[in-house]
Structure 1
Amino acid sequence: EFREHLEAMDQPGGGERRLLSIVSREKLSRVLRLMLDEREFLSPYGIRAVSQFHRDHPCVLVVDGNEHRVDYEPAESSTGLFGGNSNWRGPIWFPINYLLIEALQKFDHFYGPSLQVECPTGSGPRSTLWDIAAELSRRLTRIFLRGPDGRRPVHGGVAKFQTDPHWRDLVWLYEYFHGDNGAGIGASHQTGWTGLVAKLLQQSGG
């Protein structure tokens, strides 16, 4: 059973590289097919916590006559569960996205160009896992950068932060981000995990 999670690959010039992973190469490709689908998890600003498929197709469980459901909610939770702090149903979270990027880089270190998938799913062209990690990094950093319209997605519809000369260059590191438009949500001083954007910019040379 353990051997199912271990792969080995000969390297040019001799030597062997080993990979210990929960997912096999085949399962990884299947996971990425969903993760990189813009109709599912992939947003213009990173990977959503829950697929937007569940916006129109919620996951519903009925127990003892009581209905429990998970809908896609790109921003604040609409329920009072956990004191209203159940915001893992659609927003973009930096810790998870950063770990996904690191995992893709490590998988690419093992598989190299022998493993390529569509990004986004259904687009046609195939990319290495390293290039996909770089694309996710670009989407995440795009949250904080001005677009062609001069607006930063992180500031959402707050006009003062978008246009006021005293505020427009102050970038807040929010707790999490709207799954559809990248607007900052939650605590605006989350300099711990959202500060990972500095590492992404460093890696990209931005």
Structure 2
Amino acid sequence: DLLRAAPEFVARMTWLLANRPRLAALVSHWQEPGQAATRLLSLLRGHRLKRLLYRMLDTAEFLSDYGVRSLSRVYLDKPYVFRDTDITVGYQPAESSTDLFGGNSNWRGPIWLPINFLIIESLQRFHHYYGDDFKVEYPTHSGQYATLLEVADALTARLTKLFLRDPATGRRACFGDSELLQHDPNFKDNLFFHEYFNGDNGHGLGASHQTGWTGLIAKLLQPRGHR
């Protein structure tokens, strides 16, 4: 139904796959049906997807207790050096240490809701195609394997931990070390929608009213059948 509603797209795609074999070789095998006769058009074919997830689901790299970091944690002690220059990119889990790139809007370590949301939705769609037989190690190096849908659900659970109270401590990760926000009855249940979150401990950072994308957590908190 979706393809019938977009005939121009189908015509262009069909022409490209037939007349540009080098480009066609880079994308998924469109003609191979997946689960429930679904089709997949993506740069991430199965083997590439597994290689990407191998690093993304590694707790020493991108996978935090509270979601997927925006930069691998391996660059904490050994920042990336651009060729033979003094330009480096290091892992910074919280506020930026430089005024470049928008001041404190730090994309070099923290957890950002819009990126995590897109990752979760993409994993769900890949699962629609590959089904339950396609599994990846989660977390990496754990020896445990999960379907892409199970990984999506696990990432959702990590993100919701930013806002939900820890059953053991009664604290919310997003409130950090603020005893006022954690315990005062006038504040403890009034949540902020922070711009981004500390990649190590989940503390809310940046603008505190970024509902435009951090509000996506509301959809993730819903049972999957109602999203």
TM-score in terms of structure 2 length: 0.84
C-alpha distance in structure 2 between counterparts of 1:25 and 1:159, whole Å? 46
Structure 2 SS opposite 1:117: strand
- Tell me whether 82-91 or 146-155 shows the greater mean CA deviation: 82-91
Q: Which runs of 5+ in 2 are unaligned?
A: 1-21
Q: Which amino acid aligns with 1:146?
A: R
Decide whether the 8 Å contact of 2:137 with 2:146 is kept in 1: yes
Q: Which runs of 5+ in 1 are unaligned?
A: none
Alpha-carbon distance change, 118 to 10 in structure 1, aligned in 2, over 3 angstroms? closer
**Offset of residue 165 of structure 1:** 1.2
Aligned twin of 1:9: 33
Q: Which amino acid aligns with 2:28?
A: L
Where in structure 1 do 4 or more consecutive aligned residues deviate above 3 Å?
Answer: 203-206
C-alpha distance in structure 2 between counterparts of 1:6 and 1:103, whole Å? 15
Give matches, 1:14-25, under 5 Å: 16-25=37-46
Higher-Rg member (1/2): 2
Percent identical pairs in the alignment equals: 52
Please list the CA deviations of residues 92-117 of structure 1 after superposition, one character each: whole Å capped at 9, or x if unmatched: 00000000000000000000012101
Q: CA RMSD in A?
A: 1.7
Structure 1 SS opposite 2:82: strand
Decide whether the 8 Å contact of 2:127 with 2:148 is kept in 1: yes
Match of 1:153 among 170, 173, 186: 173
Question: In proportion to residue count, which structure has more strand?
Answer: 1
Decide whether the 8 Å contact of 2:70 with 2:109 is kept in 1: yes
Alpha-carbon distance change, 86 to 143 in structure 1, aligned in 2, over 3 angstroms? closer
**Offset of residue 31 of structure 1:** 0.3
TM-score in terms of structure 1 length: 0.92
Alpha-carbon distance change, 121 to 11 in structure 1, aligned in 2, over 3 angstroms? closer
Matched, 1:59 2:80: yes
Aligned length, in residue pairs: 201
Aligned twin of 2:208: 188
